[in-house]
Chain A
Amino acid sequence: MNILLIGETRRAAEIAALAAASGVRVTLAAEEGNASDEFQARAHGTLAALVAAELFRDNDLDDAKALIQVGSGTTEPAAVVEACPENLAQKLEALRTAEARNPRVPFVTTTSVLSVGEIAASAASPGLVVGLSFPGAAHTNPVVERVAGRQTDPRSLSAASDLAKVLGKEVVDVIDRPGFLAQRLLVPYLNDVVTCLDEGLATPEDLDVALELGLGYPNGALMVLDEIGLDVHLERCDALYAQLGDAHFAAPALLRRMVDAGELGAVSGRGFRIGVNKEEQA
């Protein structure tokens, strides 16, 4: 199988690494240059992380790396996959790129928070547009949400399942409502923890320890946010609040201030938990 990938986000790099590790040839729709070099380096780094986590065999690493290419693919892809930042303008720009290159191939949007139907509304063939939303890190989370818009045709739906299966994911069908299931449930919870932190309920460490030991969550909410990226979470809040008008989805002021200050979590080396010592937390 081969796919055309549009977008150079961290999510895109995760998908490229996951696809290559699954034996899928990935062509990044970009001009060769600094940006695409950076993207390849990031995708290779994610592949190395898969090896480190023992999710992928070391001796296949070079083969997998070779599956990630930049520029024009030779054969028609099974699907075009977009993983652009979460705003409609960039999603539609990706749609134009896809239509110019492969007008009859299913267009898979990986949006977590925008409407599949709204993207489809701008497509020349709305039936080709389908969603595959990764609830966590694309290369490690076992689940993917498959999103059918009202316009999505059955062929595109099965193309999306085929791709999900090749990537080793369990498919959960969801309807095209803001945030689908995962973000709809996760975002208000994460926001609530940030708001309570700001109000002085407990220290960041104690909040996370309570959630881990009290509820058995693998990571507390603040560590989850550091890993998602505070900027990525902010983007999700803004998109969901705009659609739902529910204050529980509005980005907490503290989150916005931290993004303003460049404190994005793991990617920037400083967030709620990462890069913060105990004295600073108290």
Chain B
Amino acid sequence: MATDSRTVGVLGAGTMGIGIAIVVLRAGHALVWRDLSNDQLEQGVDAVRAFLDRSVSLGKLPEEAASAALSRIETTTDLEALGSCDVVIEAIFEDTALKAKTFGELDDICREDTLFHTNTSTLSATAIAAGSRLPGRVVGTHYCNPAPLMKLVEVVRARQTSDDAYHRTLEFIDSLKKVSVTTADAPGFIVNRFLVPFENDCIRALAAGLGTIESIDAITAKALGNPMGTFRLLDIVGLDIHKAVSMSLYEQLRDPRFAPPPLVDQMIAAGDLGRKTGRGFYEYERERAFGSGTASAVGR
């Protein structure tokens, strides 16, 4: 175990909470994991165990390390249990007021030097920090999904973040063996700020008949070198999630590039949310594009 191991609180046992819990445990830290629901926590621990077991069977983690990691988990539904934490990372529902209120409650529970990290992808770290009476300790840390596999963490300096909290946050991210980049507290930070409007541009190009699902994916994946075509990626993300992120950024930035195009609403209305419903831009049973226009590229 690392000599500088800390006690880390994680709030929320959803997808991001589970991913962050794995990252924290793998780095040798002790985990106090809080969710409102015991069932959710049980499922979370099962997911962590399954992930660690797979790492062992792939030879990426010694068996003792996996069982030691599991023994460092303490689950609770009680916020009071986070009193001993050096760092608290919240990965709860994307709602500014809820996140802000939670940090306010933690003010009465945690030491004054406890770092409060908010894992938000589209909300303002500044607005969330405002919920704490010691807002200087609040720092945004945006983990990319899936957190155990993605190396990047966007560190967001809220307007109130103190230099001390910022520097201790960089050290903590380093202890997780992640690469941090520092961004201003601007909507979407870096990754979503540039990805989401690009995706919407691709959808608008499709709707305008500038290309087909296949030709636009060929250009984005092969010509521009992205790891996969934009429409394949959107099908994995889910059109409902894409719409929510787009709307959040559009409302903050008021730039039409961020607005989800009408085709997104149509697809959601038809239940074509992507891989999770079996059909989005592609049909997964038959492995072909769905609803791609037959617009000819010749002579238009």
Residues of chain A whose beta carbon lies under 8 Å from any beta carbon of chain B:
135-136, 141-143, 145-146, 148-150, 152, 157, 170, 172-177, 180-182, 184-186, 188-189, 192-193, 196, 199-203, 206-207, 209-211, 213-219, 221, 248
Note all chain B residues with C-beta closer than 8 A to A186. 224
Who on chain A is nearest to B155 by CB? Answer: A206
Note all chain B residues with C-beta closer than 8 A to A189. 194, 197-198, 201
Tell me the bound Cα distance from A218 to B181 in angstroms. 17
Can you list 14 pairs linking A and B with CB atoms under 8 Å apart? A135-B219, A146-B297, A148-B300, A175-B297, A176-B300, A182-B219, A185-B224, A186-B224, A188-B198, A188-B257, A189-B201, A201-B190, A207-B190, A210-B183
**Given A146-B297, A207-B181, A215-B194, 8 additional A-B pairs, CB 8 A:** A142-B223, A145-B219, A149-B299, A152-B299, A185-B219, A192-B257, A213-B151, A221-B194
Q: Is the CB of A143 within 8 A of B184?
A: no
Q: Is the CB of A206 within 8 A of B201?
A: no
Q: Is the CB of B183 within 8 A of A209?
A: no
Nearest chain B CB to A172 CB, angstrom units: 5
Who on chain B is nearest to A147 by CB? Answer: B297
Q: Is the CB of A216 within 8 A of B227?
A: yes
State the main secondary structure of chain A at its contact with B: mixed
Q: Is the CB of A182 within 8 A of B210?
A: no
Q: Is the CB of B297 within 8 A of A214?
A: no
Q: Is the CB of B191 within 8 A of A211?
A: yes
Q: Is the CB of A185 within 8 A of B190?
A: no
* Interface residue range, chain B: 35 or more
Contact with A along B160-199 (1 / 0, CB 8 A): 0000000000000000000101111010011101110110
Who on chain B is nearest to A211 by CB? Answer: B194
Note all chain A residues with C-beta closer than 8 A to B295. 175
Tell me the bound Cα distance from A216 to B222 in angstroms. 13
Who on chain B is nearest to A205 by CB? Answer: B181
Q: Is the CB of B197 within 8 A of A209?
A: no
The CB with the most chain A CB atoms within 10 A, among B181, B202, B220, is that of B181
* Set A143, A149, A181, A215: member contacting B226, Cβ < 8 A: A215
Q: Is the CB of B210 within 8 A of A172?
A: no
* Set B184, B205, B299: member contacting A148, Cβ < 8 A: B299
The 5 A-B pairs with the shortest beta carbon distances in the complex, nearest first, are A173-B297, A214-B191, A135-B223, A216-B227, A206-B181
Tell me the bound Cα distance from A200 to B219 in angstroms. 30
Using A136-B223, A202-B181, A210-B152 as known contacts, say yes or no to A172 and B300 having CB atoms under 8 A apart. no
Tell me the bound Cα distance from A189 to B179 in angstroms. 23
Q: Is the CB of A173 within 8 A of B219?
A: no
Tell me the bound Cα distance from A116 to B190 in angstroms. 36
Nearest chain A CB to B175 CB, angstrom units: 18
Note all chain A residues with C-beta closer than 8 A to B179. 209, 213
Tell me the bound Cα distance from A177 to B297 in angstroms. 11
* Set B152, B186, B224, B297: member contacting A174, Cβ < 8 A: B297
B262 at the interface (CB under 8 A from A): no
Nearest chain B CB to A255 CB, angstrom units: 16
